[in-house]
Copies of this chain bind each other. A is one copy, B any other.
Amino acid sequence: MPTIRQTVRRSGRLTALARGVRDAIRGAPAAGSTSAPQSATAAVAARDGLDGVAELHRVGPKRDAAAAAGPRLNLLVPTLSPARAFGGTRTALDLFEALAPRFPRLRIVAFQPIPDAALASLEGYVRANPGDEGAPDRVAVAVPRGPGAEPQLAVGPGDVFLATFWTTAELATRLVRWQAATFGGEPRPHAYLIQDFEPGFYPWSAQSELARATYTGDVPPIAVINSGLLADYLAGQGIALDDPLTFEPRIDARLRPFLAEPARERVRRIVVYGRPETPRNAFPVLVDGLRSWVAGGGGGGWEVVSAGRSHPPVELGRGLRMRSVGKLEIEAYGSLLRESALGVSLMVSPHPSYPPLDMAHLGLRVVTNAFGPKDLSSWHENIVSAAAMTAGAIADAIARQSAAFEADPAAGGRARPLRPDYVADGPIFLFADTLAERLGAGL
């Protein structure tokens, strides 16, 4: 039985899909416009509460009476469409792949329509309906949304679940309770890939509280946490997870060649990770910080480029203008970084986030922010954390890094990582066998 990775490698289309999904999720400027939920999504949902919590997946479990041949691992993902992929799908696919060899049957459950291109590239997978009993061993199903009768999902005694976003974890909790009531026994554990503190994606609201409840509900998950920093933050919030599994973020494999390249000359250019529509990237205070830097005498001879999500140019004062290049292909992104002096990337989250680490490892001097237990200045010599999330502190940090560049333009290329994790090779999910066991792979 081929692993998903093997399947992916055999298929150019699946490779492209996987890349697209990964980039979309990753939020890398290469294709990073669609991490979710965006502010508009959250806000519309918050206003549009007359019909209940819009984010929840209203799915009714249905008894799958077909004879089951061993356990089936179900990946629950908001979407399989690269263009609309939700945060975490890239790593979710990697984790699913790492677990897949242990399960004779696999089902991918998405909550948006699966485009034909996505299905076609899922080699070995066939489209099925969520309610189909006795489905083939490799199926992808799209659960319909919107008005109408509540859709049904066939669930048998052998189904186990890997949830990826809080809405899918909320559903998994209901499914395993129903499964226990229907087929007997205790609710089976479900895995929950946690890649950010998702209650923070919303103002305090029904959504933030429901997201928080998924960590410690009445059916506790097997938490799989992207980064020790996020795990520390959750613990600091008093969220008691039962024996969580953690892993550390890794550089995109396609950026690795740039690590080994001989040094190029770097121009006085600041690359900003700019996503105005994503609140946690704090674009407004980044603009204020750059303007404060310019007002304080900075910016002479520099250019400022925003990569991430296309936006209109922003005047920074004294004739300096930040121009947006929007999403870049990964190769163009790598080249831009290798020829630029400074990077500025903010992320209001305890998750380390990828762009400041990409930038630092590719030799840029980086300004980012601390948050809770996160301080990336202990991850790479090129990284400075602004003393506060204020325009003044950001301007000070940019001034410091630009002065350091002017004093020694090649120093960023010589600076060293302080932790090996980000560019480590080898398997990332060292706990895959343990997790499969805990999920009941050996049923």
Contact = CB atoms under 8 A, between A and B. Distances in A.
Interface string A23-64: 000000000000000011011011101111110100000000
Nearest to A218: B388
Contact of A203 (B201, B284, B285): B201
A411 interface: no
A285 B388 contact: no
A257 interface: no
B206 A282 contact: yes
A151 interface: no
Contacts of A207: 279, 284
Given A205-B279, A206-B283, A213-B389, A47 B52 contact: no
Copies of this polypeptide in the complex: 2
Nearest to A202: B203
A203 B52 contact: no
A177 to B, nearest CB: 10
Nearest to A56: B288
Contacts of A54: 284
Interface in A343-359: 346, 348-349
Contacts of A288: 52-53, 56
A209 B42 CA distance: 18
A229 B127 CA distance: 53
The list of the 7 closest CB pairs from A to B, nearest first, reads A43-B43, A49-B284, A205-B279, A209-B389, A206-B285, A200-B204, A206-B282
Given A43-B39, A204-B201, A283 B49 contact: yes
Given A49-B276, A200-B203, A213-B389, 8 more contacts: A49-B284, A50-B314, A52-B391, A201-B204, A204-B349, A206-B346, A207-B284, A210-B390
